[in-house]
């Protein structure tokens, strides 16, 4: 064969272009092209007497001899690289390829073997002496980098047993984060604060690992609540159970539960455990569940307070006033107004399964939930769909009471519930004594019109063109409750 060196280096240059330019884009196709180039280079070498297992010819021409030696050494290195890529692409599982640890360690071993073979066959150096010397050197290096070697072997164990993979949310000891990289030395976690935490493999192999991403459709969350020791456990557990019922985002299976965890000298610890189907929901559901626990405990007369601080005793009148102050609709009322309005509230108790409000009805009273859980559902073409659940401190029916708007939802009790109601006559007399309150309430209703429009009869189009939502609502309230002109004009 004429000019084997030129042809051989041309093949090497083409392989270098394919490698660096990543042509073609498909990894498997690129691998087969590079394997074909290696076979072509092997054919050129063996057909021209440039065997990688012997020294290169051309001893009489030093330049050609060394070019042949270099080409034979390149053959060994290309073979080592392509052997590593073949194993990585064709044999290793996809999860292992992402982690890179096994392929990196295997590649290092293959390249070391190829380098020793090139030294022995191509350069004809005394490999036995080199191996013996390198063995002693390896002992010295092993003692110097034993912690690094510990990370490498621990990483091999982690990659083999696969307690977690890239993309999983894990807790290693007390640190929680998302696995973003796994290499021969450490595992990289992206924490909830947006920081990257590097956990050495030797530490991870000895640590207690909790994989929050397995199974993929069930993720648990837990809340620890400190409750005053005077509170009866059954009262607390019943309130926490209603809080779990009030959150319709958590899974029914596995079933959520509340339990007494431990007692201390100043408090009793209770744990609330629930499950969601998406890891991204845990934060929002935890916050919602804590709010529900707070409200249901308050409705049961149990407060979350600092240890050692005595609880404040509430009278029956204070209970009604405290309930009114938790309703957004009455945020603008003064303390005296709340006291007067609290006297007009009437108490109503319902058993589970009672329909408090039917669809397409105009409520003639404002209902405020004191305790219990109620389900809000809407009738669609495909049947009834639950859209939310309401609990202590939440109110409904204000649009019907103030403006005579029909509600398009059905509200049913899920647990034993206690409601306080303010009927239309009491509201009318109250608004006549406090006409400015009607304006303030209509401002709030106008602000919430986008939400109310989905649940109540929407505003007529002809009136919407002539008046703002607030003007239309204040007119409805003025006509329905026969208020004075100063209410309408305001």
Most confident of 40-49, 87-96, 107-116: 40-49
pLDDT score recorded for residue 468: 63
Task: Name the nearest CA neighbour of 356 among 395, 403, 326, 320.
Answer: 395
The rounded distance, in Å, linking the Cα atoms of 294 and 458 is: 34
Residues of the chain with CATH 3.30.70.100: 219-299
Residue 83 has pLDDT above 80, yes or no: yes
pLDDT score recorded for residue 188: 92
CB burial of residue 366 (10 Å; 0-12, 13-18, 19+): buried
pLDDT per residue over 431-465, tens digit each?
Answer: 777 767 677 667 766 665 555 444 444 555 444 44
Residue 289 has pLDDT above 60, yes or no: yes
Residues of the chain with CATH 2.60.120.10: 317-489
pLDDT score recorded for residue 259: 94
The rounded distance, in Å, linking the Cα atoms of 279 and 218 is: 8
- More confident of the two residues 293 and 329: 293
pLDDT per residue over 180-211, tens digit each?
Answer: 988 878 899 998 788 899 999 888 988 889 88
Whether the CB-CB separation of 240 and 311 falls below 8 Å is answered with no
State both tokens at 272: 């609330």
Strand partners of residue 260: 270
Residue 393 has pLDDT above 50, yes or no: yes
pLDDT per residue over 416-433, tens digit each?
Answer: 999 999 888 887 877 777
- More confident of the two residues 309 and 454: 309
The rounded distance, in Å, linking the Cα atoms of 349 and 418 is: 4
Residue 319 has pLDDT above 70, yes or no: yes
Max intra-chain CA distance, the chain: 119
pLDDT score recorded for residue 141: 61
Task: Name the nearest CA neighbour of 19 among 71, 69, 99, 74.
Answer: 74
Q: Residue 192 — φ and ψ, nearest 5°? A: -65, -20
The rounded distance, in Å, linking the Cα atoms of 187 and 166 is: 9
What topology does CATH give the domain 317-489?
A: Jelly Rolls (2.60.120)
- Provide, rounded to the nearest whole percent, the portion of the chain with pLDDT above 90: 26
Give the number of residues written for the chain: 490
pLDDT per residue over 371-388, tens digit each?
Answer: 999 999 988 877 888 988
Residue 166 has pLDDT above 90, yes or no: no
pLDDT score recorded for residue 174: 82
Lowest mean pLDDT among 222-231, 265-274, 405-414, 444-453: 444-453
Residue 488 has pLDDT above 50, yes or no: no
Lowest mean pLDDT among 92-106, 152-166, 371-385, 386-400: 92-106
pLDDT score recorded for residue 489: 44
> What does CATH list as the number for 163-211?
2.30.30.60
Task: Name the nearest CA neighbour of 68 among 100, 46, 101, 91.
Answer: 46
Predicted structure pTM score: 0.60
Residue 298 has pLDDT above 50, yes or no: yes
pLDDT per residue over 96-131, tens digit each?
Answer: 555 566 677 777 788 888 888 888 888 877 766 656
- Provide, rounded to the nearest whole percent, the portion of the chain with pLDDT above 70: 80
Residue 145 has pLDDT above 80, yes or no: no
CA dihedral 405, 409, 415, 416 (to 10 degrees): 30
pLDDT score recorded for residue 473: 65
Q: What is the mean pLDDT of residues 308-332?
A: 70
pLDDT score recorded for residue 463: 47
Q: Select the CATH number that applies to the domain covering 219-299 from these four: 3.30.230.70, 3.40.50.1970, 3.40.50.1820, 3.30.70.100.
A: 3.30.70.100
Q: How far is CA 130 from CA 63, 124, 289, 465, in A?
A: 27, 12, 68, 94
- Residue 22, sorted as left (phi over 0), alpha (psi -120 to 50) or beta, turns out to be left
User: Mean pLDDT of all residues in the chain?
Assistant: 81
Residue 13 has pLDDT above 90, yes or no: yes
Residue 245 has pLDDT above 60, yes or no: yes
pLDDT score recorded for residue 285: 93
pLDDT score recorded for residue 447: 63
Whether the CB-CB separation of 280 and 286 falls below 8 Å is answered with no
């Amino acid at each position: 064969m004429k000019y084997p060196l030129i042809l051989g280096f041309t093949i090497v240059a083409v392989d270098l272009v394919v490698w660096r330019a990543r042509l073609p884009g498909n990894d498997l196709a690129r691998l087969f092209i590079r394997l074909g180039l290696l076979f072509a280079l092997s054919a050129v070498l063996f057909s021209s007497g440039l065997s990688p297992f012997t020294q290169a010819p051309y001893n009489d021409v030093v330049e050609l001899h060394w070019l042949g030696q270099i080409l034979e050494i390149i053959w060994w290195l290309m073979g080592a690289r392509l052997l590593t890529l073949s194993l990585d692409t064709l044999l290793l599982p996809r999860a292992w390829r992402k982690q890179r640890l096994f392929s990196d360690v295997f590649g290092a071993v293959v390249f070391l073997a190829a380098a020793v073979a090139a030294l022995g066959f191509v350069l004809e150096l005394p490999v036995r002496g080199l191996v013996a010397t390198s063995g002693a050197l390896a002992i010295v290096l092993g003692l110097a980098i034993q912690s690094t070697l510990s990370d490498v072997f621990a990483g091999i164990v982690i990659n083999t047993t696969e307690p977690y993979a890239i993309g999983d949310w894990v807790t290693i000891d007390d640190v929680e984060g998302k696995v973003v990289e796994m290499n021969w030395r450490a595992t990289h976690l992206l924490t909830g604060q947006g920081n990257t935490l590097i956990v050495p493999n030797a530490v991870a192999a000895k640590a207690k690992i909790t994989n929050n991403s397995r199974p993929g459709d069930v993720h648990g969350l837990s809340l620890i609540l400190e409750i005053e020791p005077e509170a009866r456990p059954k009262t607390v557990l019943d309130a926490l159970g209603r809080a779990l019922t009030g959150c319709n985002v958590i899974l029914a299976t596995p079933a959520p539960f509340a339990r007494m965890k431990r007692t201390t000298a100043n408090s009793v610890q209770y744990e609330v455990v629930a499950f969601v189907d998406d890891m991204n929901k845990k934060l929002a559901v935890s916050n919602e569940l804590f709010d529900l626990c707070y409200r249901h405990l308050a409705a049961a007369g149990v407060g979350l307070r600092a240890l050692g601080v005595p609880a404040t005793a509430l009278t029956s009148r204070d209970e009604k006033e405290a309930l009114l102050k938790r309703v957004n609709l009455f945020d603008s009322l003064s303390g005296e107004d709340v006291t007067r309005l609290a006297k007009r509230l009437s108490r109503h108790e319902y058993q589970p399964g009672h329909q408090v409000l039917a669809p397409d009805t105009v409520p003639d009273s404002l209902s405020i939930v004191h305790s219990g859980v109620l389900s809000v559902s809407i009738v669609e073409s495909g049947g009834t769909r639950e859209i939310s659940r309401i609990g202590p401190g939440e109110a409904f029916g204000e649009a019907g009471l103030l403006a005579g708007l029909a509600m398009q939802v059905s509200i049913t009790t899920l647990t034993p519930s206690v409601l306080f109601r303010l009927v239309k006559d009491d509201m009318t007399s109250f608004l006549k004594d406090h006409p400015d309150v009607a304006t303030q309430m209509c401002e709030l209703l106008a602000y919430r019109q986008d939400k109310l429009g989905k649940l109540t009869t929407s505003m007529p189009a002809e009136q919407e063109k002539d008046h703002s939502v607030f003007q239309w609502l204040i007119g409805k309230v003025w006509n329905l409750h026969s208020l004075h002109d100063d209410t309408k004009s305001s």
